[in-house]
Amino acid sequence: MAIELDKNPWGSARSFKIGDIVYHRLVYEHKEPLKVVGITEDKIMLEGDYSGGTNNVCQREWMPIKGISRIYNHAFKVKARLDATTLSIPCAGSTDNTYKAMMDMVHAVMVLTNDVSINHEF
């Protein structure tokens, strides 16, 4: 008996609850907190500030599940992790202080962005 696995286990509407705070790639690149106020099978109604400059505006809009994250500034953190790993490769094998400083910075980026590796974008 074969078990069919969901193609994207993080991208189902069942993983959200009314009242959750999430971030969406289409709304300021994961930089605006949005509250979940409605859920369908493939879309989520989010409430927040979509105004683009006007402060204290509360609007609602149906958004696709794809692009939602529970992490603030998700896309930037993913890019930082990728950049950190690619920067450390050319210095491998060196024993001077530059290499040690580079590896310390790579380690710091990995620790600071650890939440991204655990909580994927939907």
Model confidence, pTM: 0.64
Distance (Å, whole) CA 71 – CA 86: 23
More confident position, 29 or 120: 29
Segment 72-106, tens digit of pLDDT: 877 778 778 777 777 656 556 666 777 777 777 77
Residue 116's pLDDT is what? Answer: 67
- Cα(first)–Cα(last) distance of the chain, in Å? 28
> Is the pLDDT assigned to residue 5 strictly greater than 70?
no
**How confident is the model at residue 83, as a pLDDT?**
77
